[in-house]
Structure 1
Amino acid sequence: MTEGRTPSHLAHSSASPTAPRPGLADRIHGGWLGRIAGNMLGKPVEQGDRWTRERIDHYLRRADALPLTDYLPPPPSAEDAAELRPEWRQCVRGGIDGSCRDDDIDYSVLVLELLETHGTDFTTEQLGTLWLRRLPYLQTFTAERAAYRNLAAGIRPPLAATTDNPYQEWIGALIRADVYGWVSPGKPRRAAALARRDAVLSHTGNGVYGAMWAAALIAAAFEAGGPREAVEAALAHIPAGSRLSRAVRHTAALYDAGAGWADTLTEMAREVGHLHWIHVVPNAAVLTAGLLYGEGDFTSTVALTVRGGLDTDSNGATAGSVAGVLCGAAAIPPQWTEPLHDRLRTAVFGFDGVRISELAERTYRLAVGSPDSPTGPDGMENS
């Protein structure tokens, strides 16, 4: 069945359109919670060449879990279980006890540490040093692992991104961008500039533009009237002629024309589906579709994004971050947040077991400026 423009489960809205806007602290907390929940929703099926959109929905139908309004159900058969990622038991309904450790969230923790230590004037070299000090090598992948290896060998940026690195336009830099948006509420240009300085450690071209777009998208969401407005605002901060910009605009145009969610993804697969399932461009199309067709509802947004396939945990994380900023933490339905028990698992040295609320509070201090943060009240570096 082809789904229409409005998902059938929008009735389970996480916030009333007439409700007052949540405060900044609640929205930053919503970004953290949404990122973690969206990541965990997509993690069991994070294998885009195997878990296609059609196969994910087949799994959900067999488990009687469509419409998807909660974490993935346990696998209905041993055969299904064998196809899921090994961590699935910690990420499905009934098995969640705190967050599941994942690199998408590790980088958010690292960026928070970076900004607390060096402020918004951090250098790409300082970021690389932080990776070597705080992040285990075997918890890095694709472009990040190539850059890490180059850094350890004494190769400095920008060569760290281009030496023996075939993954320069994959999604890795995009997944590192959220904190730059959270600390730049309503300032997408600033968020994009910060994300670019991070991204060039490991990526080039569309890989860098993906990070800039994601950071700008999240920053814009603090003031936007909804996801369509935020998506459009973010596009102003990447080159209009880039493949990433064209893919996002094409996806948005299909939405604007009234195409259904499934038809839009089918069309975008014809357009950019020849690229690797971890490449940033096709994933940006899936993410854009999830945001637009989710229409600001938290559950619909993360569910449609993960059902879109490809790099499901990364896309689910970014979609959850945007949706969490739009609605605020208090409005995220409890089935997504209560199993997390306000506890984060991470491979970043010194942070495992930290409270999610503490990370949100520290991010808020950076966003507004305080005597114990590196940034001043206007969000700029203290002298």
Structure 2
Amino acid sequence: MILGIIFLEVMFFAPAKAQSKLFAISKERLFDKIKGGWIAKTIGCTYGGPVEFRHNGTMIQDYTPIKWSKNSVKYYYDTFPGLYDDLYVNIVFVNVVDRLGLYAPVDSFAHSFARMKFPLWHANQVARYNITHNIKPLGCWLNNPHADDIDYQIEADFVGLMCPGMPNSASKISDKVGHLFTYGDGWYGGVYVGALYSLSFSSDDMDWIVKNALATIPTQSDFYACIKDVINWHKMYPNDWKRTWFELQKKWSSEVGCPDGVFEPFDIDAKINSAYVTMGLLYGHKDFYTTIDIAARCGQDADCNAATSAGILGTVLGYSKIPERFRESIYDVMDRPFAYTDVSLNKLCKLSFDHAQKQIVVNGGKIESNRVLINSERPLPVRYEKSFLGHYPVDKLVVNAMLTGEKNVNFVGIGFVQRGYVKCSGNSNYVAKVELYVDGKLLETANLPTASDDCIDNRRVDLFYHYQLPLKEHKIEYRWLNPQNDAQIYLGDIIVYSDHPNTTLYKNR
């Protein structure tokens, strides 16, 4: 079913690529859907907030309450504004588009993001460090152990909302912005989410939206295979989301990249969290509560997954059709800027509406007095890329020591990630300088800023990492060049990679 949209009998043909169809939507309806996307995302993020990463590797059981009240959103605005990293990072990019236009250069997105003083984690924090220290390519897994993490997936909403019915246009923006943080499956998470939002303007058929959004992802990727599995399992078990959850865990729950999740229940990988979003959308049957509750109860990054599924459904429904029991929670904060920004929800909706109209015109559409004509796009796959190609985590070495001058560690493999942090009680601006040697060769002299408790800092998420070494025994050496009495460098565990995975063999009986 097409909701609130009139298709015109006009076909456009772009060179070598795409067949487009012109469709009309009233300005009022377009704004209502954009507003629905942002408002619902905020609601979903709040709903999943209390259970974020509290149920890792397990679903949240039915008897476990996820509480909600009309004061829930205001509570988090007041007490933990960092919950809304999904929103405030989006806002950085919306502001760049507003300031510099649709063709804003990638460096403007990068530096506008990096200079913001808000708490960041995982791939976002790696990006801030890499941008600040001019480490390129920024999001590539060789420079980013978190390249497959969820980060761009939760920040691609602005792309889809400014490209209604134009998923390929959304993908072009994602190519520019998403690669600041992610690569491979991590990037595909944002491309997929951008397409889900974009196509939510074209139809209210959730099966159609999911299927066509997946068409933007290369079929040979693990991300495509994972989401395709969810679609197929939904067909096999249409009334049992928990069966699909178990099938998903069996096949797709082994973390490869993020050092916090390797060999642990914690899993912030983009594809499995996108799978949870997809489960909420398919099993939710366009019921707002059911959609966000399933997405949250799948566990892991529950606030982000509830936020994304809510935002997409909110775009399908429009703000006016979000249930009042959820909508009433927003009234007190509509004109209150998100923490670390000067942009409120009302302002954000207006900005995205303005950007969408400009994008419509650029893409061959037209703005009329009471409606817009959108030159819709048939989804096309983006290029194929893969993080951690040929790398398999095989061991975790326990170091757990303070670096005092020099430290040596041996391992057998082709790559490693050294976890840890820097602290300095007397100077929060202290930057440790540490040399990394592998097999006697200096690979890096790293600048390692101190880590703060509020995560508003320039820390390096993982102290050292290096991949694509020859398979053999290697000797790692750390040499601290500028030690001082009130500074500490803690060396945690080391994730070791080989060129083949571990296997578990059982004796036949």
Which interval holds the TM-score relative to the shorter structure? Answer: 0.7 to 0.9
| Structure 1 residues 228-267: Cα deviation after superposition (integer angstroms, max 9, x where no partner) | 1111111111111111111111101111223411111111
| Structure 1 residues 28-53: Cα deviation after superposition (integer angstroms, max 9, x where no partner) | 00000111001111111111555831
Counterparts of 1:281 and 1:379 in 2: how far apart (Å)?
A: 30
CA 1:345–1:50 in structure 2 vs 1: closer, same or farther (change >3 Å)?
farther
3-state SS of the aligned residue for 1:34? helix
Unaligned runs of 5+ in 1: 1-16, 61-71, 75-91, 370-374
Letter in 2 for 1:350: D
Counterparts of 1:379 and 1:334 in 2: how far apart (Å)?
A: 36
1:183 matches 2:157? no
- For 2:421, the equivalent position in structure 1 comes to none
CA 1:339–1:251 in structure 2 vs 1: closer, same or farther (change >3 Å)?
same
Contact 1:98 1:339 in 2 (8 A): no
1:117 matches 2:99? yes
- For 1:360, the equivalent position in structure 2 comes to 349
Aligned positions of 1:206-225 closer than 5 A? 206-225=185-204
Counterparts of 2:199 and 2:355 in 1: how far apart (Å)?
A: 17
Aligned positions of 1:275-354 closer than 5 A? 275=255, 276=261, 277-341=267-331, 342-351=334-343, 354=344
- Cα deviation for residue 123 of structure 1 reads 2.6
- For 1:263, the equivalent position in structure 2 comes to 243
Letter in 2 for 1:29: K
1:129 matches 2:111? yes
1:150 matches 2:130? yes
Alignment TM-score, normalising by the size of structure 2: 0.60
1:32 matches 2:38? yes
- For 2:224, the equivalent position in structure 1 comes to 245
Contact 2:123 2:151 in 1 (8 A): yes
Counterparts of 2:100 and 2:229 in 1: how far apart (Å)?
A: 38
CA 1:265–1:227 in structure 2 vs 1: closer, same or farther (change >3 Å)?
same
RMSD after superposition: 2.4
Contact 1:99 1:345 in 2 (8 A): no
- For 1:168, the equivalent position in structure 2 comes to 147
Contact 1:41 1:313 in 2 (8 A): yes
- Cα deviation for residue 284 of structure 1 reads 1.3
1:235 matches 2:241? no
Contact 1:99 1:344 in 2 (8 A): no
Letter in 1 for 2:353: Y
Contact 1:207 1:280 in 2 (8 A): yes
- Cα deviation for residue 329 of structure 1 reads 0.1
- For 1:68, the equivalent position in structure 2 comes to none
Counterparts of 2:317 and 2:217 in 1: how far apart (Å)?
A: 26
Counterparts of 1:252 and 1:147 in 2: how far apart (Å)?
A: 32
| Structure 1 residues 119-159: Cα deviation after superposition (integer angstroms, max 9, x where no partner) | 222232211111133x21x511111111101211233x424
Q: Percent identity?
A: 24
Letter in 2 for 1:312: A
Counterparts of 2:210 and 2:234 in 1: how far apart (Å)?
A: 12
Higher helix share: 1
Higher strand share: 2
Query: Residue 361 of structure 2 is aligned with which of 377, 380, 383?
Result: 377
- Cα deviation for residue 163 of structure 1 reads 5.8
- Cα deviation for residue 285 of structure 1 reads 1.2
3-state SS of the aligned residue for 1:120? coil
Contact 2:35 2:349 in 1 (8 A): yes
Letter in 2 for 1:58: Y
- Cα deviation for residue 98 of structure 1 reads 6.9
Counterparts of 1:127 and 1:191 in 2: how far apart (Å)?
A: 15
- Cα deviation for residue 191 of structure 1 reads 0.9
- For 2:410, the equivalent position in structure 1 comes to none
Letter in 1 for 2:199: A
Counterparts of 1:339 and 1:175 in 2: how far apart (Å)?
A: 21
Contact 1:183 1:366 in 2 (8 A): yes
3-state SS of the aligned residue for 2:328? helix
Comparing both chains, which one has the higher relative contact order based on Cα–Cα distances under 8 Å and sequence gaps of 6 or more? 1
Contact 2:88 2:341 in 1 (8 A): no
Unaligned runs of 5+ in 2: 6-27, 256-260, 262-266, 365-509
| Structure 1 residues 320-360: Cα deviation after superposition (integer angstroms, max 9, x where no partner) | 11100110000001121212222455343433xx2x12211
| Structure 1 residues 62-81: Cα deviation after superposition (integer angstroms, max 9, x where no partner) | xxxxxxxxxx327xxxxxxx
CA 1:268–1:51 in structure 2 vs 1: closer, same or farther (change >3 Å)?
closer
- For 1:141, the equivalent position in structure 2 comes to 121
- Max Rg structure: 2
Aligned positions of 1:93-112 closer than 5 A? 94-97=71-74, 100=77, 101=81, 102-112=84-94
Letter in 2 for 1:363: S
- Cα deviation for residue 216 of structure 1 reads 0.8
Letter in 2 for 1:377: V
Contact 1:27 1:329 in 2 (8 A): yes
Contact 1:196 1:211 in 2 (8 A): no
